[in-house]
């Protein structure tokens, strides 16, 4: 007999009674190993990963996801060899240049989570341009996490609140979850409902530490270049089997 999860793998299909997560966040991992398995340089894997980005952005928009957050480059990724870092930056530039029109046509608003100032000037410029030219798009928000680290984001937010306290705008006792939320890159956005990590590792690697506190976590062995529409649908079908209890008991949820 097939287990429940095996059944899902075989007939993963969305049905009208399923909930589409409002916000999906993805740690796109496994490009390097995907390429190494094919005896190709790591950058070959990153290039193939860009095709997955296109496919997943298109699918998410099509099925009605409102926020899609993609972890593309972490604060720690600056420690990689120079050639890999510059290769990634150049892919990013090409991607943004090529996608600007598609984003506008598909009504997708681009946002960046992370230290924009650390990016090379040419990448920063096309990023700013894309953000500006898509700012009124309402179909879906695509957050690219670039030079992003959850801890750095929290420190930045806490500093902002500390400054407001120092200049008398707020008192320390007024600081609550909402004010910290508002001081993060994701201000005004709902928390992720579903957090996916491809590539087989089961860790957060400094991603959305605050925002993911109640996200359903989904880890898959599939490496990012192989993660396409089919695999995203599978993850959403799994998500629909979860019961989000937020600290309550299952019985309490049934009477609500």
Pull the structure tokens for residue 21: 């997560």
Active-site residue, from 29, 31, 193, 206: 29
Footprint of ligand IPE on 3-42 (CB under 6 A): 27-33
Q: How far is the CB of 32 from ligand IPE (least distance, A)?
A: 3
By a kind-dependent CB cut-off of 5 to 8 A, residue 47 interacts, out of Mg ion, ligand IPE, none, with: none
**Residue 33 binds: one of ligand IPE, Mg ion, none (C-beta under 5 to 8 A by kind):** ligand IPE
- Neighbouring CB atoms inside 10 A of 146's CB total 25
Q: What character string, x for contact with Mg ion (CB under 5 A) and - otherwise, covers 19-38? A: ----------x---------
Alpha carbon 245 to its chain centroid, in Å, reads 23
Q: Which of 17, 51, 77, 106 is catalytic?
A: 77
Does 82 participate in catalysis according to the annotation? no
Of the CA atoms within 13 Å of residue 21, those in its CB half-sphere come to: 33
Q: According to the binding rule CB under 6 A, does residue 71 interact with ligand IPE?
A: yes
Cα–Cα distance measured from residue 27 to residue 20, given in angstroms and rounded to the nearest whole number: 19
Q: Is 176 a catalytic residue?
A: no
CB of 153 to Mg ion, least distance (A): 20
Q: Is residue 149 close enough to count as binding ligand IPE by CB under 6 A?
A: no
- Those residues whose C-beta lies under 8 Å from the C-beta of residue 74, and which sit 6 or more positions away, are 145, 147, 148, 149, 205, 206, 207
**Angle at CA 128, nearest 5°, toward 122 and 129?**
90
Of positions 52, 59, 74, 220, contacts ligand IPE by CB under 6 A = 74
Question: 108-113 and 67-74: which strand pairing?
Answer: unpaired
CB-based contact 78:147 (threshold 8 Å): yes
Catalytic residue IDs: 29, 77
> Where along the sequence are the contacts to ligand IPE (CB under 6 A)?
27-33, 71-74, 76-77, 88, 199, 201, 203, 205
């Amino acid at each position: 007999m097939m287990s429940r999860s095996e059944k899902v793998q075989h007939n993963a299909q969305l049905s009208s009674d399923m909930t589409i997560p409002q916000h999906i966040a993805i740690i796109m991992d496994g490009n390097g190993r995907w390429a190494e398995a094919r005896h190709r340089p790591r950058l070959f894997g990153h290039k193939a990963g860009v095709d997955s980005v296109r496919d997943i952005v298109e699918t998410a928009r099509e099925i009605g996801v409102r926020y899609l957050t993609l972890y593309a480059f972490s604060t720690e990724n600056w420690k990689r060899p120079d050639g890999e870092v510059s290769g990634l930056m150049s892919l990013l530039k090409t991607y943004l240049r090529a996608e600007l029109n598609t984003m506008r046509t598909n009504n997708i608003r681009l946002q960046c989570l992370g230290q924009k100032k650390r990016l090379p000037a040419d990448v920063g410029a096309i990023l700013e341009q894309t953000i500006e030219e898509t700012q009124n798009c309402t179909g879906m928000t695509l957050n690219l996490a670039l030079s992003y680290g959850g801890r750095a984001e929290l420190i930045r937010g806490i500093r902002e609140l500390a400054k407001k306290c120092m200049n008398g705008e707020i008192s320390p006792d007024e600081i609550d979850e909402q004010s910290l939320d508002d001081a993060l890159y994701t201000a005004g956005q709902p928390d992720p409902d579903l957090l996916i990590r491809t590539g087989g590792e089961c860790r957060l690697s400094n991603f959305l530490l605050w925002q993911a506190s109640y996200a359903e976590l989904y880890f898959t062995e599939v490496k990012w270049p192989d993660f396409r529409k089919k695999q995203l649908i599978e993850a959403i079908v799994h998500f629909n089997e979860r019961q989000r209890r937020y600290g309550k008991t299952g019985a309490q949820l049934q009477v609500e």
